[in-house]
Amino acid sequence: MTSETGNIETFSGRSIRIDTPLGEPITHAPKETGTPRDTFTRGRAVEFMAKTVLEKRGYYVIRSAGTGSPVDLVAWRGSGQHILVKAERSRNKIHTLTGVAAQYRGDIDALRAITLPPLAQRQLWVWNWRSGWRFFEVMAGGISEVADYV
């Protein structure tokens, strides 16, 4: 659905704005209720948001539906670029790389364990309803924030 404020998409019954420049707040965030089903639904919604962002940038995207996978999305373009994405959400804004590394240590370690083909990247995407997406490249020696995911 399109409105005067921009492109609005619905994920899990909730409307969010997806065409904002990187770093801008999203129109609406899922409510935090804490039950396992709500946690699964919110996590899945964030994965679909990330999938939509990648598709709008010209990537083909496959979503891993299993909960045990270290990667939520596999994205690629004809130019040989591949991105393995773990999409997470955070209630609180994360201010430092140290904070990201501490909060998502298990996800980062699981991404590091994946052997990459040439021209591929491992990325951790963290979505916060106040600040939008933040993107981190996961490398063998650490993580670094990237201004954009492409």
The pLDDT tens digits along the chain (150 residues) read 433 334 444 444 444 444 444 444 444 444 445 554 454 556 678 999 999 999 999 999 999 876 678 999 999 998 788 999 999 998 888 788 999 999 999 999 999 999 988 889 999 999 988 888 999 999 998 999 998 665
What's phi and psi for 97, nearest 5 deg?
-65, -35
Domain 2-146 carries which CATH code?
3.40.1350
Q: What is the Cα–Cα distance from 85 to 42, expressed in whole angstroms?
A: 17
Distance CA 84, CA 76 (A): 9
Q: CA triplet 70, 137, 107: central angle to 5 degrees?
A: 25
Q: Report the C-alpha gap between 50 and 18 in whole angstroms.
A: 9
CA pair distance 54, 48, nearest whole angstrom: 10
Tally the C-alpha atoms within 13 A of residue 47's C-alpha that lie toward its C-beta: 22
How far apart, in Å, are the Cα atoms of 37 and each of 31, 94, 119?
A: 12, 25, 37
> Domain locations in the chain?
2-146
Three-state DSSP state, 60: strand
